[in-house]
A = this chain, B = another copy of it.
Amino acid sequence: MDGVGDISVPQLGGLTPLEKAKTPNLDRLAFGGALGQHIPVATGITPGSGPGHLALFGYNPVEYLVGRGALETVGIGFELRHGDLAARINFCTVDSTGAVSDRRAGRISTEKCTELVDALKSISVRGVEVLIEPVKEHRACVVFRGPMLSDSISDTDPGLEGEKPLDIVAKTSGAEHTVDVVNDFIIQASGILKDKTPANGLLLRGFALYEEIPTLVSRYKLSPAAVAIYPMYKGVASLVGMKLYPSEPADIRGQINAARKALKDGRDFVFLHHKYTDSAGEDGDYTRKVAEIEKFDSALPDLLTCGFDVICITGDHSTPCPMKLHSWHPVPVLINGGPQRTGWSARFTEKEAAGGSLGTFKACELMSLLLAAAGRLGKFGA
């Protein structure tokens, strides 16, 4: 449950959404399992979604940095290679002065986006291969493939309407070549787009050099699968070697079906991503966050019939409704299955988690607890 952790919400009588929600199924799992809480990155540090998930999958997010551009690109099924430079494209509307009048070009359709991307495929930049793919609505991805690329360059997205796109700047020496490459691309793209409507410009952001990281297959001898709906989470799952299973329909029921199929295929680890707790938190909508938790809870019995030996329920970070933002607060963790100290808690809440038998640990240590619970780890030393 993305962003599941929260803080006291005055409008809920000082309770958190997890405390407020009616969760009979989570309650049962909590009583029969063990609770604890994880620190996503480091004490007091608020993680983005990328580091948050990498940490859950066992990667110290300070050591394994993967930029958003790379995550989204991988998330649409693009096979990045070591050294590729990926970035996110927003098609936008620019006015006659060159200022951005709509950063999303009225959220053009995905079909329209695909047409524009096809037009941009004629671009050729010396010394690199340019690969462009549509994502959704006004969003696309570009990948520059070639030697000596750097992601130490600034975005062109001004972040505000009424401002002109920014010039790309090298943030470290050695990135000048990349600035030239990207500028060449932007000039050609602007020429191609200038007479289109409503999307007559483009903004680039989230430059990320893709560096291969060891997968869950090699690190943990797992055969992992992911059932996620949003590209970003598909991306991070894919990066660490999870096979993506499509969810039909694209909701929790479809995700559970996909999880079941993954297990039948012999997969022994499934990451199921429930986005909406985070979205509600970002909107500050505590009533909806309570409802999303309850919706997840009501889907749990179906998930439990899939036949997992060990189930873990947690989030990549907290997204407290009163903050409308990701936060640094510890995230509650529930592990049901394997040998555990059980019967300690009758609820899955932040408070019960803080006093749980698993204690407080770093998110990147969670995989060890799961593998241990599943009997997958040997003994250290004699």
- Residues in B whose Cβ lies below 8 Å from that of A330: 357-359
Interface on A for B, CB 8 Å cutoff?
A: 7-8, 14, 16, 37, 39, 41-52, 61-62, 65-68, 71, 206, 320, 322-323, 326-330, 339-344, 350-351, 354-362, 365, 367-372, 377-382
- Residues in B whose Cβ lies below 8 Å from that of A377: 44-46, 328
Given contacts A7-B340, A39-B359, 12 further A-B contacts (CB under 8 A): A42-B368, A43-B362, A45-B368, A46-B377, A46-B379, A47-B381, A52-B381, A68-B382, A328-B377, A330-B359, A341-B351, A354-B357
- Residues in B whose Cβ lies below 8 Å from that of A362: 43
Q: Which residue from B44, B68, B370 sits with its C-beta under 8 Å from A365?
A: B44
Q: Are A359 and B360 in contact (CB under 8 A)?
A: yes
- The quantity of this chain's copies bound in the complex is 2
Tell me the minimal C-beta distance from A187 to chain B in angstroms.
26
Q: Are A51 and B381 in contact (CB under 8 A)?
A: yes
Given the known inter-chain contacts A372-B46, A372-B328, please indicate yes or no for A339 contacting B320, CB distance below 8 A: yes
16 A-B residue pairs with CB within 8 Å: A8-B343, A14-B342, A41-B380, A44-B365, A44-B371, A47-B380, A61-B380, A66-B381, A71-B382, A320-B339, A328-B369, A329-B357, A354-B355, A354-B356, A354-B359, A355-B355
Tell me the minimal C-beta distance from A178 to chain B in angstroms.
19
Q: List 10 A-B pairs, minimum CB-CB distance, nearest first.
A: A44-B368, A68-B382, A359-B360, A48-B381, A43-B365, A51-B381, A44-B372, A48-B382, A44-B369, A8-B342
Tell me the minimal C-beta distance from A202 to chain B in angstroms.
19
- Residues in B whose Cβ lies below 8 Å from that of A370: 44
A47: nearest residue on chain B (CB-CB)? B380
Q: Are B368 and A357 in contact (CB under 8 A)?
A: no
- Residues in B whose Cβ lies below 8 Å from that of A360: 359-361
Tell me the minimal C-beta distance from A381 to chain B in angstroms.
4
- Residues in B whose Cβ lies below 8 Å from that of A65: 381
Q: Which residue from B66, B206, B372, B380 sits with its C-beta under 8 Å from A51?
A: B380
Q: Are A50 and B382 in contact (CB under 8 A)?
A: yes
Q: Are B328 and A8 in contact (CB under 8 A)?
A: no
Tell me the minimal C-beta distance from A50 to chain B in angstroms.
5
Q: Are A369 and B14 in contact (CB under 8 A)?
A: no
- Residues in B whose Cβ lies below 8 Å from that of A372: 44-46, 327-328
- Residues in B whose Cβ lies below 8 Å from that of A66: 381
Tell me the minimal C-beta distance from A351 to chain B in angstroms.
6
- Interface-centre pick from A354, A355, A379, A380 (highest chain B CB count, 10 A): A380
How far is B381's CA from A320's CA once the two chains are assembled, in angstroms? Answer: 18
- Residues in B whose Cβ lies below 8 Å from that of A49: 382
Given the known inter-chain contacts A341-B7, A368-B44, please indicate yes or no for A67 contacting B382, CB distance below 8 A: yes
Q: Which residue from B7, B45, B343, B356 sits with its C-beta under 8 Å from A380?
A: B45
A327: nearest residue on chain B (CB-CB)? B339
- Interface-centre pick from A43, A46, A322, A342 (highest chain B CB count, 10 A): A43
A369: nearest residue on chain B (CB-CB)? B44
Tell me the minimal C-beta distance from A118 to chain B in angstroms.
28
How far is B42's CA from A367's CA once the two chains are assembled, in angstroms? Answer: 12
How far is B314's CA from A379's CA once the two chains are assembled, in angstroms? Answer: 20
Q: Which residue from B48, B322, B359 sits with its C-beta under 8 Å from A379?
A: B48
- Residues in B whose Cβ lies below 8 Å from that of A43: 361-362, 365, 368-369
- Residues in B whose Cβ lies below 8 Å from that of A327: 339, 372
Q: Are B381 and A61 in contact (CB under 8 A)?
A: yes
Q: Are B14 and A379 in contact (CB under 8 A)?
A: no
